[in-house]
Amino acid sequence: MADSNKPNHDEQSTRLYNPYQDLQVPIRNLYNLPTAHEHLFIEEAAKPSRSWGENLQYYTGCGYLSGAVIGAAKGSLEGVKAADPGDTLKLRVNRVLNSGGHVGRRFGNTFGILGLIFAGLESGIIELRGHDDFLNTVVAGLGTGALYKAAAGPRSAAIAGAIGGIAAAAAVAGKQAAKRYVPI
């Protein structure tokens, strides 16, 4: 006997859903839910990539979140190392939390700003060139590093730009390798 909650092999674009399946009641209403992405406007479905506003939110949010997590971990380790042998447990926990929060905020803000600059540059370059490819991402990474360190002088800006370009190229290469070798 086939399970009615599983989709048919013939019909891959929808799946059957029974909202009452966990309630142990004799009600049996099945709904066909789509499995593909849905768009409010047909123009959105035709676009191959995110808009500049979506990129801005995505890169800034991902940058802030990853920076905050990395910074909190680093700050917490610094707080553990800075604890004195005579400190009480309450004082040690307070030191770890304060250090983790301070460094986490600082890293989160830095990575969020880098994401903001990167998103703006990448969207601008895509608009100027008229098409989206890996070169846009690499140039945006290079520009992000250079702009971020521009106030420190031309040498620092050039080094940071090179690091940003290499990091962006590595991210593009990693994404391509993941698409090719990791089954989804």
Tell me the domain boundaries of the chain: 1-36, 51-129, 133-184
- pLDDT, one tens digit per residue, over 62-97 is 999 999 999 999 999 999 998 888 889 999 999 999
pLDDT, tens digit (0-9, with 9 covering 90-100), for 11-43: 457 778 777 778 877 776 677 777 777 777 777
Long-range contacts of 159-166 (CB under 8 A, 24+ apart): 165/138, 165/139, 165/141, 166/141
* pLDDT per residue as tens digits for the range 91-150: 999 999 999 999 999 999 999 999 999 999 999 999 899 888 899 999 999 999 999 999
Number of H helices and E strands in the chain, helices first, is 5, 2
Distances in Å between the alpha carbon of 128 and those of 131, 138, 151?
Answer: 8, 15, 26
